[in-house]
Amino acid sequence: MNPIDPVAFRQFEHEGWQKVAARYNDSFASVTTQSIGPILDAGHAGTGTRVLDVACGPGYVTSAAAARGASAVGVDFSSEMVLEARRRYPGLEFMEGDAEALNLPDAAFDAVLFNFGMLHFARPERAISEAHRVLRPGGRVAFTVWAGPEKTLGFGIVLAAIQKYGDLNAAIPPGPPFFRFSTPAESEEFLRNAGFANPVVMEVPQTWKLSSADELFDVMYYASVRNAALLHAQKPEVLKSIRTAIRKDVERYANELPMPAMLYSAIS
Ligand SMILES: C[S@@+](CC[C@H](N)C(=O)[O-])C[C@H]1O[C@@H](n2cnc3c(N)ncnc32)[C@H](O)[C@@H]1O
């Protein structure tokens, strides 16, 4: 495996999210929004709390926190995502910014939430340490990531098809392992190393209801970042077999795939 170049990986992720921002609501959002209630609960977001939604995408968590009476701000490094969020929730505050270097003061928030953000950062250690810096002592961090591919069948099916017909090692910009934080022990250590106490782990059951058996391939190919790059890196002659294998597997599940999240929270 090639060493990770964090600058190159960040640029790759940034370009990817800029491109797919407008499609996000019709691709992953029906699944990622299933974690909103649990992540707000884990962060104790409620009336009068100051909540930061990092890697906010189109702003769903920010909006749900505000609906609970929190004073919420969303931040994302993709200007296209920030535009989507402002268009969707015109009364709320969204800013462009990098999770790894937040342009925000120390101890300014009671809760910092990352809904499906941590697995996309080039340097997650920097992002978690920024969360610690902007939280008041006793504040809460919470983040969700996907459970491993053996449980999140939307990923498991795609990766198995690539493994069978294509090349899982096709050249894409190397980044931190996509499923690194799916392992509770790894995430607990990550939180403790950043100065957080009392980590709590939860698995959130989620289901991806696809409108057709081809939707999984289409979302991964046209509306994701790393998985899209992996699919685009396959030889054209095997891509058809990959697509067919994915469709058949999705049909076996009647177009409804388990997509559980791992939710971690801790106290600063
Ligand atoms: C899977 S989406 C999650 C969106 C939203 N939080 C949700 O719950 O659906 C990942 C988001 O992370 C953002 N992102 C990735 N790397 C980032 C970084 N270094 N700083 C800020 N945002 C980042 C992307 O632009 C994208 O909007």
pLDDT in tens, 17-36: 999 999 999 999 999 999 99
Name which of 264, 112, 148, 268 is nearest 202 in CA terms: 264
Percent of the chain with pLDDT over 90: 97
Most informative mutation of 120, 144, 225 for ligand 1 (most atoms within 8 A of CB):
120
Given this model, what pLDDT does residue 100 score?
Answer: 98
Mean pLDDT of the chain: 97
Nearest-atom number in ligand 1 for the CA of 144 is 8
Task: Give per-residue pLDDT as tens, 188-202.
Answer: 999 999 999 999 999
At residue 89, does pLDDT exceed 60? yes
Q: Is the CB of 52 under 6 A from ligand 1?
A: no
Measured by CA distance, the residue closest to atom 10 of ligand 1 is: 117
* DSSP-assigned states of every residue in the chain: -PPP-HHHHHHHHHHHHHHHGGGGGGTTHHHHGGGHHHHHHHTT--TT-EEEEET-TTTHHHHHHHHTT-EEEEEES-HHHHHHHHHH-TTSEEEE-BTTB--S-TT-EEEEEEES-GGG-S-HHHHHHHHHHHEEEEEEEEEEEEPPTTT-HHHHHHHHHHHHHS-TT------S-TTGGGSHHHHHHHHHHTT-EEEEEEEE--EEE-SSTTHHHHHHHHH-SHHHHHHHTS-HHHHHHHHHHHHHHHHHTTTEEE--EEEEEEE-
Task: Give per-residue pLDDT as tens, 152-167.
Answer: 999 999 999 999 999 9
At residue 71, does pLDDT exceed 90? yes
How many angstroms separate the CA atoms of 58 and 70, rounded?
18
Percent of the chain with pLDDT over 70: 99
Given this model, what pLDDT does residue 234 score?
Answer: 95
The predicted model scores a pTM of 0.97
Q: Is the CB of 81 under 6 A from ligand 1?
A: yes
Query: How remote is the CA of residue 245 from the centroid of ligand 1, in Å?
Result: 29
Question: 138-177: b or e for each residue (b if 16 or more CB lie within 10 Å)?
Answer: ebbbbbbbbbebebbbbbbbbbbbbeebbeeeeebbebbe
CA 192 to the chain's CA centroid: 21
At residue 2, does pLDDT exceed 80? no
Nearest-atom number in ligand 1 for the CA of 81 is 27
Given this model, what pLDDT does residue 1 score?
Answer: 57
Q: Is the CB of 162 under 6 A from ligand 1?
A: no
Q: Are 22 and 80 in contact (CB under 8 A)?
A: yes
